[in-house]
Structure formats: structure tokens, C-alpha cells
Structure 1
């Protein structure tokens, strides 16, 4: 198998993301990787959630808009550090990329892949199928359809992983 020259690994700290990083290291054998964690500000997450309920988005508390601190960014940074540490434990050189998502996480992954000019995107998937997939957006599916480059998708190991990672 030819070694990918430049690889982007989408890492959110989940079991799926860890497994994807481990399998990419084992099977694709990169010497270095770009680790990406996409995050969304708390106020935007809240507004999106309210939009799904039909409630007016003007009810979102604006208390944090003036401040620079966002706990979602802190959490994303800690996940990114974990990804870099795992890559290093696997013997890979890793560069960290924390990206604020302006639309969706899959779009942030695709945009970063284009900007970094990577050869392949690696990510884990929940492995949801059937009726449940009708109601759940799939990051992996969206990335595959929009990336324009190969995407290495690692499914969950077993039923328990699928259920606990949902």
C-alpha cells in the first residue's frame, strides 16, 4: 500500500477518533500527520439547538459575546492535545490545528483539508445505519461527498462501541 504523503486526522477525543488514528498509523504508515479538531462557540451551538426546536433564536443569552473565553474552545483544545499526544505515542510527528467551525464540523474538516493540501482525510464513524441514520447527520458521509480527495473511514469495533459513542 502506497504511503499517503500528507494526512489529516479529524480528532474529537472520542473512542472512534482514537481508533481511526491508531488504524491510520498501522495501515497507512504515515511519518507525520495533521491533527484537526473543529469546535463551535457555545452561543452558536445554543442558537442552532434552539432553531431545531422552533424557538426564536433571539432568546439565546448573550452574556459571553463580549468576553474572549469560550468553554467549548477550551474543551476542543484539550481534545486536540490528546490527539497530538496519541499520535506521538504511535511514533508519528503531529501538527495541531484547532479550527473554529463557521458552519458545520464536516465543512470545517473539508476546508482544512483543502487549505493544508492533504492527500487523505482520516476519521472514525459511529456506524449508524437503518432508520437511525435518517435522523442523524453523518460527519463521515458529508466529508466523503464533499472532500474531493480520498477519505479513510474507520468504523466502530463492535456493537457496544457504536451504542456508547452515539
Structure 2
């Protein structure tokens, strides 16, 4: 059963150490107690097309086997199940959902929050600074810039 939107915490989860930390903070600081752990994924065919386009080399068309589940979705389901388990360990009543990216990961997260009318979005961040941050802004930064609801961004642990 999906949580009601009035008390829904949407947790963006990609399996990283920073995402795990964000879940622990959500369980500790947010009292709603209900969470939907969302893992964004991109089909392998789209990944291959995007990467070949970036390389500037034409690649032959690849048609995935539609009778088998996309390997990227299989991986996303495993990552999402881990996030749900961590959310429950953090004291949240959690459900999980994998959302396919149509354009970007941040857009998939914002769209899911809008669809579910989430009260807040929780996400971790890499904490990139300097030139690295200028060249590649984080998903968390883009969620914050494009979302019209509260966002809790949990920075990385300093003890790495």
C-alpha cells in the first residue's frame, strides 16, 4: 500500500554511501514515519545510445530482447530493495518504487514527487566543490533547483 501524500517522504536512493546516510537522517529527523524509496533507472538501450552519441561514433542499432527484463531495471530493483530495508531499519514505514528516466535522474525524482504529492524529498549528495562541481552538478542540486517542495539534502560524511 502506498503512503498517503499528506505524510509522504520521498527518498531518492541510488545505493551510494551518501544515499544510505540520507536514509538514516530521514529516519532520525523526520517524524512522518512513512517513506517511498525511489530509484531512478535508465534502460540499457537508451544508455548505449546516449554514450555512443557522446563519443561521436555511429553505433549499429541495438534492439533489446523484449522478453527479458532490462538488466538496468533488474539492478535498480535490487538497489531499491536495499533502500527500503535501510529505511525500515531507520524507523520508517517504507515502500519502494523504480522510476524510468525519460530525460534525467533529477527530473524522474521531481516527477515522482509531483505525481505522489510528496511532502518532502530526501537525497544525499556527493558534496563536490570547485571545478568538479562546476563541470558536473549533482542530482541533489538539480532537484533543489527544479522542485517546488521542501528538499532535505544530506551532505557526505567527512570521515572518508
Gaps of 5+ in 2: 1-5
Deviates more, 1:28-37 or 1:101-110: 28-37
C-alpha spacing 1:60/1:139, structure 2 compared with 1 (3 Å): farther
Gaps of 5+ in 1: 161-166
For residues 107-150 of structure 1, give each alpha carbon's deviation from its aligned partner in whole angstroms, at most 9, with x where no partner exists: 00000000000111000000001011122131011101111111
Moved over 2 A (4+): 65-69
Q: Secondary structure at the match of 1:91?
A: coil
* Equivalent residue in structure 1 for 2:38, among 18, 23, 36: 36
What are the equivalent positions in structure 2 for 1:11-160 lying under 5 Å apart? Answer: 11-56=13-58, 59-64=59-64, 66-158=66-158, 160=160
Q: How has the CA–CA distance of structure 1 residues 122 and 68 changed in structure 2, closer, same or farther, with 3 Å as cutoff?
A: same
Q: CA RMSD in A?
A: 1.6
Aligned residues: 155
- Give the direction of change, closer, same or farther, for the CA distance of 1:60–1:11 in structure 2 (3 Å limit): farther
What residue is the counterpart of 1:164 in the other structure?
none
CA distance in 2 between partners of 1:74 and 1:42 (Å): 11
Q: Name the TM-score, length of structure 1 as normaliser.
A: 0.87
1:60-96 deviation line (CA, Å, top 9, x unaligned): 5514154442111000000110011111122211111
Q: CA deviation at 1:24?
A: 1.1
